[in-house]
Structure 1
Amino acid sequence: MKSFLRIILLTVTMATFCVSTYAQKSDRQRMTREQLAEFQAEYIAKELEMDDMTTQQFIKTFCQFQKDIWALGPRPKKDISTCTDEEAEQAIKERFAHSQKILNLRQKYYEEYSKFLSQKQIGRVYELERKMMDHLFHRSQKEKSQKK
């Protein structure tokens, strides 16, 4: 009987420990958008081996670019397969308008980057940014599938 009680007590202790450990893992803090943008900028600056002055200028410009992108809001998402032709046309035009706003911002910040980065560096910035966005997207998809 004593050994049976010990086994039950050990099982309850292990279960409690495992649940608390799992809760701690799931409660990890997420970065804010601003923190993520700054982290991305610092990573890119490090990869491009920028000097301190250029790094600070790049981080400031990159973070402002991200804020301007966020200010546009999310991409218009409407399932056009269930719409009338007029609604589908309107949805497509909204997507075009949103894409044009993004393009205008990219051109504006290309001019800003050109003031302190070479063309090769700007190309590398875009490449690294794209890789990071792809990585974050795949990571978020993986987390979503694990939650289900």
Structure 2
Amino acid sequence: MKKYLFMVMVAVMMLSGSITVNAQVAQNGKERTHLTEDQMIQKRTEKMVQTLMLDDATSAKFIPVYSQYLKDKMECRAMKPKHMGMDINTKTDAEVDQMIQDNFAQSHKILDIREKYYVKFHKFLTPKQIMKIYQVEKNDAGKMKIEMIKRQRGMGNKGVFGRPNFKFSD
């Protein structure tokens, strides 16, 4: 009888363990939930408030300005010319020249946005804090670029040597 009870317990433990593993695979697999633009902006703003270690008063001033800054930048990037990333060998010189001019226009617009918000940030942030914003943006862009390369190569959520990247803290 003890042996029978022991075997039942082992079977139950094995089944419950496999259910847990399946739940984790479904959660970490391709069934990802995509954040809306507003959710993404809110998350990035909260992360930046923590990174800059802002007090409540400064935070209250910073959040609406930084949120609008991110929205303006996203709108500018959304206007990315449709022909960018295309093979230039199949284009005429005039088309390539237009691609370059469009890229310049977008770069100028992003610079204008950064200059506009620099003035606004400078009212309640120190220059070091503003520089920290730009550094974090640059680092995040680098991480995003690496992630896109991995996805294009079919590595998905795998890091160096094909091992999964596990994130233990945020």
Sort the TM-score into its range (normalised by shorter chain): 0.7 to 0.9
Question: In the alignment, does 2:47 pair up with 1:43?
Answer: yes
Aligned-pair distance for 1:30? 2.5
SS of corresponding position for 1:146: coil
Aligned-pair distance for 1:90? 1.0
Following the alignment from structure 2 to structure 1, what is the Cα–Cα distance between the partners of residues 128 and 22?
A: 50
Following the alignment from structure 1 to structure 2, what is the Cα–Cα distance between the partners of residues 87 and 143?
A: 29
Tell me which protein shows more helix as a share of its residues. 1
Match of 1:122 among 118, 122, 130: 130
The one-letter code matched in structure 1 to 2:72 is: D
Task: Calculate the TM-score normalised by the size of structure 1.
Answer: 0.75
Gap regions ≥5 residues in structure 2: 1-14, 157-170
Following the alignment from structure 2 to structure 1, what is the Cα–Cα distance between the partners of residues 155 and 26?
A: 15
Cα pair distance change 1:48/1:118, threshold 3 Å:
same
Aligned length: 134
Cα pair distance change 1:115/1:146, threshold 3 Å:
same
Cα pair distance change 1:117/1:30, threshold 3 Å:
same
The one-letter code matched in structure 1 to 2:80 is: R
Following the alignment from structure 1 to structure 2, what is the Cα–Cα distance between the partners of residues 121 and 81?
A: 44
Task: Calculate the TM-score normalised by the size of structure 2.
Answer: 0.67
Aligned-pair distance for 1:110? 0.8
Cα pair distance change 1:86/1:120, threshold 3 Å:
same
Structure-2 residue corresponding to 1:10? none
Match of 2:119 among 107, 111, 114: 111
Aligned-pair distance for 1:53? 1.9
Following the alignment from structure 2 to structure 1, what is the Cα–Cα distance between the partners of residues 46 and 23?
A: 34
Cα pair distance change 1:57/1:143, threshold 3 Å:
farther
Gap regions ≥5 residues in structure 1: 1-12
Cα pair distance change 1:19/1:120, threshold 3 Å:
closer
Following the alignment from structure 2 to structure 1, what is the Cα–Cα distance between the partners of residues 73 and 53?
A: 26
Aligned-pair distance for 1:107? 0.7
Cα pair distance change 1:42/1:19, threshold 3 Å:
closer
**Residues 119-138 of structure 1, C-alpha deviation per residue, up to 9 Å, x if partnerless?**
11100111112212322332
Which structure is higher in RCO with an 8 Å CA cutoff and minimum separation 6? 1
Is residue 58–residue 113 contact of structure 1 (8 Å, CA) maintained in 2? yes
**Residues 81-136 of structure 1, C-alpha deviation per residue, up to 9 Å, x if partnerless?**
32111111111111111111111111111111111111111001111122123223
Is residue 80–residue 91 contact of structure 1 (8 Å, CA) maintained in 2? no
Match of 1:75 among 77, 80, 84: 80
Structure-1 residue corresponding to 2:32? 28
RMSD over equivalenced CA pairs, Å: 2.5
